[in-house]
Structure 1
Amino acid sequence: MTIQPSRLSDPAVRAFVYAVNSHDLEGFMSLLAPGATMCDDGSDRDLAEWTDREIFSSHGHLEVDNESDGGRTVLARYRNDTWGEMRTKWVFTVEDDGRISRFETGQA
């Protein structure tokens, strides 16, 4: 059962899902702390290059099925024009100022 983005517990994660699903690159980048990092399937990636390729230029979309860790870990169906749909896990590190300093994703 899908959790509507507006019902996600963590405000930063909620904003992240909204930015991805509305293809709002400027909004997405404003959610990230300076020097933010990310990891895909266990390997650190260049955040700007990865998000362009895997989210924004390929029309990425997240449908969250489950959340834990206060909303900072989500299980979601992720789809984009490159890979189709897959079950994924996303783990977010959110700083005191509410910005995301790291996210890790991969197949669940």
Structure 2
Amino acid sequence: MAIATAKLTDPTVRAAVIAINAGDRQAFVDLLTPDATMSDDGSDRDLQDWIDREIFTVRGHMEVRSEADGGRALVADFRNETWGEMRTAWRFTVEHGRIGRFETGQA
């Protein structure tokens, strides 16, 4: 059973999930630190290219199934128009209310 987005513990992560599900790229980018980084399945990627290719140009959407680490570690069913739906793990590093890094991959 999914966790309602409004009930996610960490406010920054909650805002990120809301932005992803709304297709609001600018709101998502506004949550990132200027030097934010990310990795996908253990490999660092170009963050701006990745979020466009995997989330915002292909209607990415997350249904969070569980959270840990104060809401900064999620397991979610993620879907987009490229890959369909898959179970994914997400880990966010939040600094002063902004995301400095996130890591994702298949769960």
Alignment partner, residue 64 of structure 1: 64
The question of 1:98 aligning with 2:106 is answered no
State the identity as a percent.
63
Distance 1:34 1:26 in 2: 13
AA of the residue aligned to 2:104: T
Alignment partner, residue 107 of structure 1: 106
AA of the residue aligned to 1:106: G
Alignment partner, residue 50 of structure 1: 50
Instruction: Provide the TM-score with structure 1 as the length reference.
Output: 0.98
- 3-state secondary structure, aligned to 1:93: strand
AA of the residue aligned to 2:23: H
Distance 2:75 2:26 in 1: 25
Instruction: Provide the TM-score with structure 2 as the length reference.
Output: 0.99
Distance 2:73 2:9 in 1: 10
Query: Which runs of structure 1 show a deviation greater than 2 angstroms over 4 or more consecutive aligned residues?
Result: none
Distance 2:35 2:68 in 1: 25
Listed as ranges, the gaps of 5+ residues in structure 1 are none
| CA deviation vs aligned residue, 1:8-64 (integer Å, no higher than 9, x gap) | 000011000000000001100000011100000000000000000000000000000
